[in-house]
Amino acid sequence: MDDDAPCHVCKKLVYNSDVKKALGHRYHRWCFRCTKCNATLTLGKERAHEDQAFCERCHQSLFGAQGFRGAGSSIDAHERSTAVHTPVATPQSAVPLHIPAQQPASVGAAGAGGAQKFCSSCGTAASGAARFCASCGSQM
């Protein structure tokens, strides 16, 4: 291994304070990552295949034993899901078909400030100074 060799990943100069020597190459400590999942590798626990560095799990899932009780697809469980923001469709039943319009305030009507009161539950106009709706019984 040549001491003035560039980083195997980014091909830039590697200073001795930032060097990781593994698999016959020099790496920056931030470039020494798994080729598949991009996880930071630990010296001595990396695996090589065709001059590329892999973590143990990715190497086993890509190049290890397959079949019953073999590597299978469950080895990939350490990878994070990339589908974090999946679109959610709003069902048609959740969209209101009729949105009641706001009742206009009539001039000279009963109530504070001259505005007529309406029931917040059913929208019926209040009669006089009533505290409860005559239609549905809810409090005004």
Q: Given this model, what pLDDT does residue 76 score?
A: 47
Return d(Cα 61, Cα 59) in angstroms, integer.
6
Q: Given this model, what pLDDT does residue 109 score?
A: 47
How many CB atoms within 10 Å of residue 31?
18
Please, are residues 53 and 35 in contact by the beta-carbon 8 Å criterion? yes
Query: How much is the pTM?
Result: 0.46
Q: Given this model, what pLDDT does residue 110 score?
A: 47
- What tens-digit pLDDT sequence spans the chain (140 residues)? 667 789 999 999 998 888 999 988 999 989 999 999 999 998 988 999 888 999 988 888 888 876 655 544 554 445 544 555 566 666 767 666 666 666 655 544 444 555 677 787 787 887 777 778 877 877 77
Q: Given this model, what pLDDT does residue 54 score?
A: 92
Integer-rounded Cα Rg, in Å, for the chain is: 35
